[in-house]
């Protein structure tokens, strides 16, 4: 089941779109990539003790794999595994019957579930604090992702966007955080069309200044747990 595209408001989604010449675009992408590499390496070194502690907590809470790689669609439609700390039970795929009809409906429309019974105790903490996202720094170093960009999508999520925007959406490298996560997170849904609108806004208005604002806004949103689940 997918969300009907007719629910996506098209007007003003690119109202602030500013054309960039080839030089400014290349300069922006070069600086952004350099910033991604340096920042990710520094962060991984600084938080390595935290990563070790979280790995132990995940394993102790539910023995099994510590990291979970989920296939997402990256730049130019290239699939890649996006890494997270595992936040669900190892047999989560067999626990689908535990979902209520309302949760099942939400799963197939928003690709997430409120009060998901498949999430472990430590997993719930990791999600609410966004610490489960930290392993994506490895994705950034491997050039699958950027620190800032549209959220990496699964194939069925892409279908919630207008078909004529797919190429534009996938022309931008997905990010660990982005305009949607920073300014709305789970408060903007696919069904309302607000999430698509916000992601496309970033695609059409990406700049170093916007990236910086998104990074600082993300830190504030995470600390305040705004829209977190």
In a domain, residue 27? The reply is no
| 79 assigned to some structural domain | yes
- Give domain status of residue 39, yes or no: no
Does 1 reside within a domain?
no
CA-CA distance, 115 to 5, in Å (whole number)?
27
Task: Please state the separation of Cα 213 from the chain's center in Å.
Answer: 17
The 3-state DSSP class for residue 182 equals helix
Read off the pLDDT of each residue in 154-163 and give the average, rounded to a whole number: 88
Mean pLDDT over 141-157 rounds to 94
Please name which of 206, 181, 207, 205 lies closest in space to residue 195, comparing C-alpha atoms.
181
How many structural domains is the chain composed of? 1
- Where b means 16+ CB within 10 Å and e means fewer, 52-74 reads eebeebbeebbeeeeebeeebbb
Task: Kindly report the number of other CB atoms within 10 A of residue 106's CB atom.
Answer: 18
Strand partners, 70: 82
Global pTM value: 0.80
Token duo for residue 170 = 């996938």
What residues make up the domain containing 92?
A: 48-224
Handedness of CA 126, 127, 129, 132 (dihedral sign): positive
pLDDT, tens digit, 9 for 90 and up, residues 31-82: 999 999 999 999 999 999 999 999 999 999 999 999 999 999 999 999 999 9
Band (pLDDT 50/70/90 cuts) for residue 19 is very low
State the pLDDT at residue 117: 76
Rounded (5°) CA angle 189-20-198: 5
Q: Look at residue 172 and tell me if it is in a domain.
A: yes
What does the alpha-carbon distance between residue 36 and residue 40 come to, in Å, rounded to a whole number?
6
Coil vs helix vs strand at 213: helix
CA dihedral 127, 131, 133, 137 (to 10 degrees): 180
Spatial separation of the C-alpha atoms in residues 44 and 99, rounded to whole Å: 36
pLDDT at site 157 = 87
Q: Is 25 helix (H, G, I), strand (E, B) or coil?
A: helix
Does residue 130 contact residue 222 with C-beta atoms inside 8 Å? Answer: yes
Whether 156 is in a domain gets the answer yes
Task: For residues 3 and 105, give the distance between their C-alpha atoms in angstroms, rounded to a whole number.
Answer: 11
Write down the pLDDT at residue 2.
Answer: 38
In a domain, 163, yes or no: yes
**Alpha carbons 213 and 177: distance in angstroms, whole number:** 11
Q: Is 16 within the bounds of a domain?
A: no
Give per-residue pLDDT as tens, 91-115.
766 666 666 666 666 555 655 666 6
């Amino acid at each position: 089941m997918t969300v009907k595209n007719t629910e996506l408001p098209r007007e003003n989604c690119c109202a602030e779109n500013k054309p960039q010449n080839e030089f400014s675009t290349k300069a922006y992408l070069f600086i952004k990539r350099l910033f991604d590499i340096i920042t990710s390496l520094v962060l991984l070194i600084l938080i390595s003790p935290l990563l070790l502690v979280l790995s132990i907590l995940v394993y102790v809470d539910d023995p099994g794999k510590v990291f979970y790689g989920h296939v997402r669609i990256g730049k130019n439609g290239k699939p890649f595994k996006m890494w997270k700390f595992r936040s669900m039970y190892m047999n989560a795929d067999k626990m689908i019957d535990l979902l209520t009809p309302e949760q099942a409906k939400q799963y197939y429309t928003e690709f997430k579930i409120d009060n998901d019974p498949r999430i472990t105790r430590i997993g719930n903490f990791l999600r609410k604090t966004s610490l489960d996202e930290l392993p994506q720094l490895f994705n950034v170093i491997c050039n699958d992702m950027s620190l800032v960009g549209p959220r990496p999508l699964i194939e069925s999520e892409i279908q919630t966007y207008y078909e004529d925007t797919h190429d534009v959406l996938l022309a931008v490298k997905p990010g660990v955080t982005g305009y949607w996560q920073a300014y709305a997170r789970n408060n903007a849904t696919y069904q309302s069309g607000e999430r698509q609108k916000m992601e496309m806004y970033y695609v059409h208005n990406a700049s170093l200044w916007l990236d910086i604002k998104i990074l600082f806004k993300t830190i504030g949103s995470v600390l305040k747990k705004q829209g977190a689940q």
